[in-house]
Structure 1
Amino acid sequence: MERKPGSTSKPQFLMVTPDHYRISYVINPWMEGNINRTALEKAQNQWENLYKIVSGFADVQLMDGRDGLPDMVFTANAGLVIENRVLLARFYHPERRGEEELFSEWFESNGFKVAQIPEGIFFEGAGDALLDCDGRWLWAGYGLRSSLESHPYIAETFNIETLSLRLTDKRFYHLDTCFCPLPKGYLMYIPSAFDAPSNRLIEERIAPDKRIVLDEVEAPAFSANAVAIGETIIMNHCFPSLRQKLARAGFSVVETCMSEFMKAGGSAKCLTIRLDEKAIENREEISTVTSRTVKVTGQLIDSGLMTEMLDIIVNGGGSFRIDELKPGYKKNEVSTAKIEVIAPRDEVLNRLIQKLVRQGATLSGIENGDAILAAVKADGVAPEHFATTTIYPTDIMVNGEWLRVENQRMDGVIVLNNGSAKCSLIRDLKKGDMVVTGGLGVKVSTLSDKSDSGEKFSFMGSGVSSERKVEIAIDRVAWEMGRIKERAGKLVV
């Protein structure tokens, strides 16, 4: 008879038997070159060893795998389970979607309350959603498998604060391959797997002495893909330096070889799912995911502008939904589109809106309003999220009316003074100047009449403009400087 969730005081896990495990397709970098190269008997022995180790600390329920679903053994992706409720997975790759119904049936038959995210939004379960070990909040990954749009549904389903982390390294396609929350507030993770805003968020929540950083040698060993049960951590391999760090924090390590499963991009954590995690009481549903709609008009398709804008959104850490698209059907007819820009936090959304405005987008409908101004606090220092100008004519909205910006130039800021708006270099700013920030109330005319000559965005590819990836580079350098400072290191400029 199956034991119902909550009927024992020991930790509870679910594992899927490996009888049908093999690599028969490629959906992550680890699988490349490994099709039909797994040794089933060896994989079964490795799985059995993991099962025995976990069973020494917890009760483990088993579910039979299914022929034709070789990745079903990676049980962590079945869904997210907190307090007898499960939010089922919606897999990104068609090869795994057959697992969804089977896991749904298992959870329902074992007494769990089952919820599911709407179709078209991807969510890959506990592989991309990890509860803080004290139950204070939930870390949620996106960018490679799970959709950013899934995070508000997670927050609502479990009534828990959900923190969005963007994955940027294709090797670490799920959050649990590079991020392992540990008891007592510790975190074992790979900083290089995340973008700069995500690293800042991690550092805001986790104290420096609680962060256990994995380097480029430890990362490929799937050390972060570990099963933490109390003060015991079960992982594929633990380098001596990492073992020392964990020992100083009060943890003991149990190693068990997972080499056959690593060929498919998974290890110990991927093969298990916790069934009895709990979050703190009196918590609040919070998701910082935010959105804003922009409108763009012009030669969107033949100039490649539409593709360029969508790339800006995705590469900048956001997501999008095209709410309206009216294409021009003839060569000289303009197209119009309304795009909902979705971002994990306000700071990311503001940055994306700025970039889109520089490409000619305007905020749509009731969201348009007067430009937001911020005062310069020191000579030559622009306020945060200042709007950067391009060579194209720009207007800002002041008191409900559009005002043309004078002295238009590349890579300037917009200063409003005595009813006039002018471009200025950052070095020329004076304390007290009022500078336009964000994208609200800013309109750029992109001179669509030049699109036929191929010159429409030629300045962006010249290699001279400081707009090209400068913000990304600055973010990364600033974060690295912070890391060096934390380690009491020295900087030479």
Structure 2
Amino acid sequence: MNAAIRILMCPPDLYDVDYVINPWMEGNVHKSSKERAAQQWQQLKTLIAERATVELVPPAAGWPDMVFTANAGLVLGDRAVLSRFYHPERQGEEPHFKAWFEANGFTVYELPPDLPFEGAGDALLDRQGRWLWAGYGFRSELDSHPLLAEWLDMEVVSLRLMDRRFYHLDTCFCPLSDGYLLYYPPAFDTYSNRTIEMRVPPAKRIAIEEADAVQFACNAVNVDRTVILNQASAALKQRLQECGFTVVETPLTEFLKAGGAAKCLTLRVTEPVQPKPAEVVSVLSRVVDLSGHLLDSGLMNRALDTVVECGGSFQVLDFKLGVQKQSTSQAKLKVSGPSPEIIESILSELIEIGALLPEVKDARLEPVVQNGVAPDDFYVTTIYPTEVRVNGEWLRCQKQRMDGAIALRRDDLGQLTATCKLLRDLEVGEQVVVGIDGIRTLHKGEGREKAPKEEFSFMGSGVSSERRVELVVEQIAW
């Protein structure tokens, strides 16, 4: 037994499936057995108590999901980040968990009320203390990750969840001792899977099949070299044993009806702080403006869907609805992405539908050092007339074409000119536009009727399909 490890649990005295807030609850409302649930919970508690110290928080009337203490918050050292539940059905748990944290000497950090984050259900510490894995997509917002990095002084690695069945990170992802990782890859998007592969070597990755995933094999409690879980296939048990782990199965079927298993029923409250923490977070944010007939044209919905589908999150900072039929509406959105590549992709898609970047900056220029070779991250041109901002002035690009680069050089009169060129035509001595700033393209405005004049929109990055393919290829090549 490792008495230094303390794990928080909540007795299932008031547990029931009272509502539906995840796919596992569908068809199971009031179909759980209180007797079997109590028996299964007690068996889990006994197994954990043989290996660690179990502490209890009393259940509160009206909040049947308090039994899932993993969602109480996230603990590191003497700091606890309190959960902000996404669904109203669980928001009443927050003051009860806050009271427990404070009574036990934790400094409690609270996120803004409109920023969902569901604790250790969506934030899991690498067991070697190198970084914090943080999930988003269903219950927790990406914008919570920078605050986690700040408050915990730890690098945060963002992972996007894609499968509604695995709505919390801990339902499909379990960091194990000595740097091992138990996880279900199809629960994540391509970029997140690549991130996992870059962080965890192949010998340490234990990818499971769907048959194990739906039995919540990843929703396991790991104490030293023991893995306690609901159920695992023979193949998975063998793989874990080959990696030096002892697998202990204990049925938790009554809790699966609510979408939880062993890990959901526990919260580790003794997470040691590493000697040299580093606050690192890759989440980037930009503000974009939308203007037009945003509601009846469907533009607002398209913009918000685009952000989510591309792997980001959004916050509506301002919305002004047009008061007359002919009036236009204005919206200001904060858009966030987990990496420069994804935020660039999001901005590209938004610009395609007419979004504007309000901040005006000069374009970033890089020299051509070899004929026919463009600098990294060069801006890829579109068919739309384009202008580039240099030294505070906008220059119209000549010879507009798709899938080219913007090259700048001085003409015979000493005037700076911008020209769209194929990559093979780039020459040493020219400068090429790179990055996401200082570019705008000419689009025709659209509303209930097409506007008679053209409107400029600030570009955030390349929007061609070629550029998107290039980004994907680059990620795969890492």
Q: For residue 283 of structure 2, what is the aligned residue in structure 1? A: 289
1:176 aligns with 2:167: no
State the superposition RMSD in angstroms: 3.0
SS in 2 for 1:369: coil
Q: Partners of 1:402 and 1:106 in 2: how far apart?
A: 59
Q: For residue 337 of structure 1, what is the aligned residue in structure 2? A: 331
Q: Choose from 439, 443, 448 the match for 2:445.
A: 448
Give, as a single letter, the amino acid of the residue that structure 2 aligns with 1:415.
I
Q: Choose from 258, 277, 286 the match for 2:271.
A: 277
Instruction: Give the number of aligned pairs.
Output: 461
Q: For residue 19 of structure 2, what is the aligned residue in structure 1? A: 25
Q: Partners of 2:24 and 2:407 in 1: how far apart?
A: 53
Matching of residues 37-436 of structure 1 within 5 Å: 37-365=31-359, 368-373=360-365, 385-408=377-400, 412-418=403-409, 419-423=416-420, 435-436=432-433
SS in 1 for 2:300: helix
Closer/same/farther in 2, CA of residues 183 and 11 from structure 1, 3 Å limit? same
Give, as a single letter, the amino acid of the residue that structure 2 aligns with 1:416.
A
Closer/same/farther in 2, CA of residues 308 and 404 from structure 1, 3 Å limit? farther
Closer/same/farther in 2, CA of residues 312 and 89 from structure 1, 3 Å limit? same
Q: Partners of 2:215 and 2:329 in 1: how far apart?
A: 50
SS in 2 for 1:24: coil
Q: Which moved more, 1:56-65 or 1:440-449?
A: 440-449
Q: Partners of 2:371 and 2:258 in 1: how far apart?
A: 55
Q: Partners of 1:393 and 1:307 in 2: how far apart?
A: 27
- Following superposition, the deviation at residue 30 of structure 1 comes to 1.2
Give, as a single letter, the amino acid of the residue that structure 2 aligns with 1:220.
V
Closer/same/farther in 2, CA of residues 265 and 343 from structure 1, 3 Å limit? same
SS in 2 for 1:445: strand
Closer/same/farther in 2, CA of residues 245 and 425 from structure 1, 3 Å limit? farther
- Following superposition, the deviation at residue 226 of structure 1 comes to 0.5
Q: Partners of 1:299 and 1:391 in 2: how far apart?
A: 25
SS in 2 for 1:192: helix
- Following superposition, the deviation at residue 156 of structure 1 comes to 2.0
The answer as to whether partners of 2:306 and 2:346 remain within 8 angstroms in 1 is yes
Deviations 1:237-262 (A, max 9, x none): 12122122212211110011111111
Q: Partners of 1:149 and 1:470 in 2: how far apart?
A: 26
Q: TM-score, normalised by structure 1?
A: 0.84
- Following superposition, the deviation at residue 422 of structure 1 comes to 4.5
Q: Which moved more, 1:283-292 or 1:27-36?
A: 283-292
SS in 1 for 2:335: strand
Q: Which moved more, 1:299-308 or 1:24-33?
A: 299-308
Q: For residue 485 of structure 1, what is the aligned residue in structure 2? A: none
Once the two structures are aligned, what percentage of the paired residues are identical? Answer: 47
Q: Could you tell me which runs of 5 or more consecutive residues in structure 2 were left unpaired when the two chains were aligned.
A: 410-415, 454-462
Q: Partners of 1:101 and 1:61 in 2: how far apart?
A: 18
SS in 2 for 1:114: strand
Q: Partners of 2:217 and 2:371 in 1: how far apart?
A: 48
The answer as to whether partners of 2:407 and 2:426 remain within 8 angstroms in 1 is no
Give, as a single letter, the amino acid of the residue that structure 1 aligns with 2:444.
L
Closer/same/farther in 2, CA of residues 348 and 477 from structure 1, 3 Å limit? closer
Give, as a single letter, the amino acid of the residue that structure 2 aligns with 1:310.
L
- Following superposition, the deviation at residue 468 of structure 1 comes to 7.8
Give, as a single letter, the amino acid of the residue that structure 1 aligns with 2:234.
P
- Following superposition, the deviation at residue 309 of structure 1 comes to 2.0
Give, as a single letter, the amino acid of the residue that structure 2 aligns with 1:55.
A
Give, as a single letter, the amino acid of the residue that structure 2 aligns with 1:311.
D
Closer/same/farther in 2, CA of residues 203 and 413 from structure 1, 3 Å limit? same
Give, as a single letter, the amino acid of the residue that structure 2 aligns with 1:402.
W
Q: Partners of 1:39 and 1:229 in 2: how far apart?
A: 28
Give, as a single letter, the amino acid of the residue that structure 2 aligns with 1:114.
V
Closer/same/farther in 2, CA of residues 187 and 220 from structure 1, 3 Å limit? same
The answer as to whether partners of 2:163 and 2:188 remain within 8 angstroms in 1 is yes
- Following superposition, the deviation at residue 54 of structure 1 comes to 0.7
Q: Could you tell me which runs of 5 or more consecutive residues in structure 1 were left unpaired when the two chains were aligned.
A: 1-7, 457-465, 483-493
Closer/same/farther in 2, CA of residues 449 and 218 from structure 1, 3 Å limit? closer
